[in-house]
Amino acid sequence: MIITCPYCGPRDLAEFAYQGDGNRTRPDPSSTDQAEWNAYVYDRLNPAGDHHEIWQHSGGCRAHLRVTRNTATHQISSVTFAREHGRPHERRKTETPA
């Protein structure tokens, strides 16, 4: 399988590391909801057809990529930077002592 890195161009699968499902939303890190965390860690869909995945170009530029791949044919229809699809991180408000 060939993945086309936006920085490096077409590269063999051996240069990449699979990082997981690209459709999942991580629970709030401060959440103590056990059911929500169990669902995030253990519940997996097994779709046939187009699926979003996160890959890291570990043997190249080290970028994290969102790959849309057909799970039945392994045909890749798009590759973009993962940061373009994530939620923006909220900045922590720091209080300055008076």
Tell me the per-residue pLDDT of 49-76, one tens digit each, with 9 for 90 and over.
999 999 999 999 999 999 999 999 999 9
Q: Is the separation of the CB atoms in 44 and 21 below 8 Å?
A: yes
Backbone torsions φ then ψ of 58, nearest 5 degrees: -70, -25
Domain ranges of the chain: 2-27+46-84
Burial class (CB in 10 A: 0-12, 13-18, 19+), 81: middle
What is the per-residue pLDDT for 86? Answer: 58
Residue 89 has pLDDT above 60, yes or no: no
What is the per-residue pLDDT for 40? Answer: 85
Q: Is the separation of the CB atoms in 67 and 76 below 8 Å?
A: yes
What is the rounded distance in angstroms from the CA atom of residue 52 to the CA atom of residue 45? 12
Percentage of residues of the chain with pLDDT beyond 70: 86
Q: Is the separation of the CB atoms in 17 and 56 below 8 Å?
A: yes
Nearest Cα neighbor of 3 from 59, 41, 46 is 59
What is the per-residue pLDDT for 92? Answer: 35
5-20 mean pLDDT: 94
Express each pLDDT in 23-34 by its tens digit: 878 888 898 999
Q: What is 2-27+46-84's CATH number?
A: 3.30.2270.10
